C-alpha cells in the first residue's frame, strides 16, 4: 500500500479517470490501490475506468468502506443523494470533492460530523501530469488532510490552497479553461488547414504554440501584454491577425466565458 493509502472515487467519469491515471502515471500509487464506483447504467465509464487496471464497481458503499481517501466525483446534482447513501459508513473518513458549485457547507451537512472534507477544483490535463488544481479545507480537515491533498494533486500538476469564495471563478478559469483552449487549438488548426497546412501538422503546431506560450508566461513572469508586443513586428503579419481578433471581440469573448461559467457555478451553489 502507498503512503496515501487506498484511494476511492464515487463516480468514475472523465475527471476521475484523468486524476486516477495521473496518480498511477506519477508513481503516487498503483492501480490496485484505487477503486471507483459508477452508475449501474454507465457502461462507458465502467469500461474506461476499469481499463486503468483499477477495481470498478456499481455500488458506492464498498468504495467508502475500503478507502482512506474518497473523491466525490459525481455530477453536482447527485452529490446529496450519493452522500445520503453512504452517510452511515462515512464517520472519520476524508472526502475530497471535485463537484462544481457544491459548497463545503452542503458537503459537511450531508456527512457525519466527524467526516473531514476538502474541496478541490482540478482539470483534465491531470491526465498528462500537467493539471492545475486548487483546494479549500473544510472545518474538520486537519493539516495531515491538507498535506495528503497537496501530495495527491502535486503528483498530477500544480496545486495551491485557496479560500472558498474564489472557487466558483477558479472553476470557470482553470476547471473549464481547458475546453476554451481546446476550441482555440481547433480554430487555429481550422484556419491553418484553410491556408493549406495538413491537418495533423496544424494540430501539432497549434498545440505546441499554446503549450509554449503558456510556459513562457508562467516561467518568464513577463506581462502577457509585453510578450504579445514582442511578437508584433511593425506593419507585420501578427498585428494584422490581432486586429482581426480585436474587431471580432476575442478578448471580450474569452473574458465573458469566464464570467458566464462563474454565473453557472453560482446558480448551482445558490450563491
Ligand atoms: N470534467 C472536468 O473537466 C471536470 C469535472 N469536475 C467535476 O467532476 C464531477 C464529474 O464530472 P465529469 O467527470 O465530467 O462527469 P462524468 O459524467 O464523466 O462522470 C460522472 C460519473 O459519475 C457516475 N455516477 C453517476 N451517478 C452515480 C451514482 N449515483 N453513484 C456513483 N456514481 C455515479 C457516472 O457513472 C460517471 O462515472 C462534476 O461534479 C464536475 O463538476 C471538476 C473539474 C473538472
Ligand atoms: O463543466 C463542468 O461543469 C465541470 C466543472 C469544471 C469543468 N467541468
pLDDT in tens, the chain (271 residues): 347 899 999 999 999 999 999 999 988 999 999 999 999 999 999 999 999 999 999 999 999 999 999 999 999 999 999 999 999 999 999 999 999 999 999 999 999 999 999 999 999 999 999 999 999 999 999 999 999 999 999 999 999 999 999 999 999 999 999 999 999 999 999 999 999 999 999 999 999 999 999 999 999 999 999 999 999 999 999 999 999 999 999 999 999 999 999 999 999 988 7
Q: Given this model, what pLDDT does residue 271 score?
A: 75
153 and 241 fall within a common domain: no
Instruction: Please state the ipTM of this predicted complex.
Output: 0.99
In short, whether 75's Cβ falls inside 6 Å of ligand 1 is yes
The answer to whether position 168 is within a domain reads: no
Look up the CATH number of the domain holding residue 99.
3.40.50.720
Burial 184-212 (b: 16+ CB within 10 A, else e): ebeebbeebeeeebeeeebbeebeeeeee
The answer to whether residues 221 and 132 touch, using CB atoms and an 8 Å cutoff, is no
- Among 110, 86, 105, 93, smallest CA distance to 145 is for 93
What the block records as the C-alpha cell of 57 is 464497481
Check the CA dihedral 145-49-128-104 and report its sign: negative
Sign of CA dihedral 197, 201, 203, 205: negative
Residues 23 and 148 in one domain: yes
Q: Which stretch of DSSP H or E encloses residue 72?
A: strand 69-72
The pTM (predicted TM-score) of the whole model is 0.96
Q: Is the CB of 18 under 6 A from ligand 2?
A: no
146 lies in the same domain as 194: no
Is the CB of 176 within 6 Å of ligand 2? yes
* Whether residue 70 sits in one domain with residue 17: yes
Q: Which of 48, 252, 94, 264 is nearest to 175 (CA)?
A: 264
Best residue among 15, 19, 171, 257 to mutate for probing ligand 2, ranked by most atoms within 8 Å of CB:
171
CA separation for the pair 138, 114 (Å, rounded): 11
Domain boundary among 162, 190, 219: 162
Q: Check if the beta carbon of residue 142 is closer than 8 Å to that of residue 116.
A: yes
Give the nearest ligand 2 atom to 175 CA: 6
pLDDT at 11: 98
Q: In angstroms, rounded to a whole number, what is the distance separating the alpha carbons of residues 56 and 234?
A: 58
pLDDT the model gives residue 2: 45
Determine, yes or no, domain membership for 138: yes
* CATH code assigned at 218: 1.10.3730.10
* Number of compact structural domains in the chain: 2
Probe target for ligand 2 pocket from 176, 182, 183, with the most ligand atoms within 8 Å of CB: 176
- Ligand 2 atom nearest residue 124's Cα: 7
Mutate-to-test residue for ligand 2 from 100, 123, 260, 268, highest number of ligand atoms within 8 A of CB: 100
The whole-angstrom separation of Cα 215 and Cα 37 is 36
Intra-chain end-to-end CA distance of the chain, in Å: 41
| Structural domain of 183 | 177-269
Say how many Å lie between the CA of residue 50 and the centre of ligand 1.
16
The contacts of residue 203 (CB under 8 Å, 6+ apart) are 185, 189
Has residue 99 been placed in a domain?
A: yes
Q: Which residue has the cell 452508475?
A: 39
Q: Helices marked H in 176-223 — which ranges? A: 177-194, 199-220
Amino acid at each position: 500500500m502507498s503512503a496515501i493509502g487506498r484511494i476511492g472515487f464515487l463516480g468514475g467519469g472523465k475527471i476521475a479517470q484523468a486524476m486516477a491515471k495521473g496518480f498511477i502515471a506519477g508513481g503516487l500509487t498503483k492501480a490496485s490501490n484505487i477503486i471507483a464506483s459508477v452508475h449501474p447504467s454507465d457502461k462507458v465509464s465502467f469500461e474506461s475506468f476499469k481499463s486503468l487496471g483499477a477495481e470498478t464497481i456499481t455500488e458506492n458503499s464498498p468504495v467508502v468502506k475500503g478507502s482512506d481517501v474518497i473523491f466525490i466525483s459525481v455530477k453536482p446534482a447527485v452529490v446529496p443523494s450519493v452522500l445520503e447513501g453512504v452517510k452511515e459508513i462515512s464517520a472519520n473518513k476524508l472526502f475530497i470533492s471535485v463537484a462544481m458549485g457544491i459548497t463545503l457547507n452542503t458537503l459537511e451537512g450531508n456527512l457525519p460530523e466527524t467526516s473531514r472534507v476538502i474541496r478541490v477544483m482540478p482539470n483534465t490535463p491531470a491526465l498528462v501530469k500537467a493539471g492545475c488544481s486548487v483546494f479549500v479545507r473544510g472545518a474538520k480537515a486537519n493539516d495531515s488532510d491538507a498535506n495528503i491533498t497537496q501530495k495527491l494533486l502535486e503528483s498530477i500538476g500544480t496545486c495551491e490552497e485557496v479560500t472558498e469564495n474564489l472557487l466558483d471563478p477558479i472553476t470557470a478559469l482553470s476547471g473549464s479553461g481547458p475546453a476554451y483552449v481546446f476550441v482555440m487549438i481547433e480554430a487555429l488548426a481550422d484556419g491553418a488547414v484553410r491556408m493549406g497546412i495538413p491537418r495533423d501538422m496544424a494540430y501539432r503546431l497549434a498545440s505546441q504554440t499554446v503549450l509554449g506560450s503558456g510556459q513562457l508566461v508562467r516561467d518568464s513572469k513577463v506581462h502577457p501584454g509585453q510578450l504579445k508586443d514582442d511578437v508584433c513586428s511593425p506593419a507585420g503579419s501578427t498585428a494584422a491577425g490581432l486586429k482581426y481578433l480585436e474587431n471580432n471581440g476575442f478578448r471580450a469573448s474569452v473574458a465573458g466565458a469566464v464570467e458566464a461559467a462563474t454565473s453557472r457555478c453560482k446558480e448551482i451553489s445558490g450563491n
